[in-house]
Amino acid sequence: MAVVSLRLLFLLSAILIPIQASALLPYLFPPTCNNNSGNYTSNSTYKTNLNQVLSSLYSNTTIDYGFYYSSYGQNPDKVYAIGLCRGDINPDDCRGCLKNSSTLLTQDCPNQKEAVGWCDQCMLRYSNSSIFGIMDTSFHVLVCDMQNVSANYLAQFNDDVNILLNNLKSEAAAGASLRKYAAGSAITTDFKKIYALVQCTPDLSEQNCVNCLLSAIATVPNYCAGKVGRIVVLTSCSIRYDDHSFFDSTTAPSSTNTTTSLWNPSNTLRTVIIVVVASVAFVVLIVSICICVYLRESSPREKAAESK
């Protein structure tokens, strides 16, 4: 029970942070600072190694496929880091995003050895244990576009979305060890267009990428059902779809076109507020369940009655 409650609180805290975090505007989502993987102090070797490994990620100009990983130092102060850009981001923007994320993430998780953060165009993650090639389906963010799907087409819309996501899932998972990304669109039965994007960190095996994306696709809470868009972010993969385009379909590395912002701020606020309201209702529900269970367990009469 305690384990379940802690997990829920962990999930909820990940969702609840946005409302108090206007200072973190450059983030697409609030970062996750892992409080259970140990802390470092500002004058420690770990801190020096962390700075070193992060700068080696964003200053590595020999890589231009948007996935960076590195490690630095000696145990027990060795630091591992992964940087992954959205599949449609060019190398310069990618490195810029990773550089900004490095600053933000180390500010906002000032002493946690392990942290992960998402800006519009990239994800940055570091840890004191090896994270390369290891699938991690820890849940971080779920945001829904709260526009309703037209009721007449709801069942069909869900089928259309699932077909599109599953096709993209196979395509992304089959990608090389440098890139596991797929984006595309489809015309739904009611002649609307849906756009979707799926991505794994490319260090995953094909099967692990499939498994991670299946977890993400299966994450549909009730308050998202029947809505036109959804973003699910797990540590090792993410999915997103919506009824408007949000990625650069040309993906030409030399393109000077700025890519569409991943998420419209006013939409984010709207959805975050709805998510928060739903979360609070959920906490109230969980707390009442806990109280009920507690009362039941601490009442011998009830127990006696039950065992009859």
Interacting residues toward ligand NAG by CB under 6 A: 10, 13, 32-33, 35, 37-39, 41, 43-44, 56, 60, 62-63, 76, 93, 96-97, 100, 111, 113, 128-129, 148, 250, 255-257
For residues 211 and 268, which CB has a smaller minimum distance to ligand NAG in the complex? 268
Minimum distance from residue 149 beta carbon to ligand NAG (Å): 9
Strand pairing partners for 267?
Answer: none
Minimum distance from residue 114 beta carbon to ligand NAG (Å): 8
Minimum distance from residue 208 beta carbon to ligand NAG (Å): 20
For residues 86 and 113, which CB has a smaller minimum distance to ligand NAG in the complex? 113
Separation of CA 282 from chain center: 21
Closest listed residue to residue 276, CA positions, set 15, 75, 14: 15
For residues 38 and 253, which CB has a smaller minimum distance to ligand NAG in the complex? 38
Residue with token string 């389906």: 137
Minimum distance from residue 160 beta carbon to ligand NAG (Å): 19
Coil, strand or helix at 263? coil
For residues 129 and 152, which CB has a smaller minimum distance to ligand NAG in the complex? 129
Minimum distance from residue 224 beta carbon to ligand NAG (Å): 12
The residue sitting closest to ligand NAG, measured at its beta carbon, is 38
For residues 79 and 217, which CB has a smaller minimum distance to ligand NAG in the complex? 79
Minimum distance from residue 293 beta carbon to ligand NAG (Å): 24
Q: How far apart are CA 272 and CA 130, in angstroms?
A: 33
Amino acid sitting at position 203 = D
Closest listed residue to residue 141, CA positions, set 31, 264, 4, 267: 31
Closest listed residue to residue 185, CA positions, set 241, 226, 233: 241
Residue with token string 């994270």: 131
Q: Would you say 98 and 57 are in contact if contact means Cβ atoms under 8 Å apart? A: yes
Eight-class DSSP state of 206? H
Q: How far apart are CA 160 and CA 143, in angstroms?
A: 20
For residues 32 and 106, which CB has a smaller minimum distance to ligand NAG in the complex? 32
For residues 170 and 260, which CB has a smaller minimum distance to ligand NAG in the complex? 260
Q: How far apart are CA 281 and CA 15, in angstroms?
A: 13
Q: How far apart are CA 199 and CA 197, in angstroms?
A: 7
For residues 68 and 181, which CB has a smaller minimum distance to ligand NAG in the complex? 68
Minimum distance from residue 303 beta carbon to ligand NAG (Å): 35
Q: How far apart are CA 183 and CA 198, in angstroms?
A: 6
Q: Would you say 118 and 29 are in contact if contact means Cβ atoms under 8 Å apart? A: yes
Minimum distance from residue 129 beta carbon to ligand NAG (Å): 4
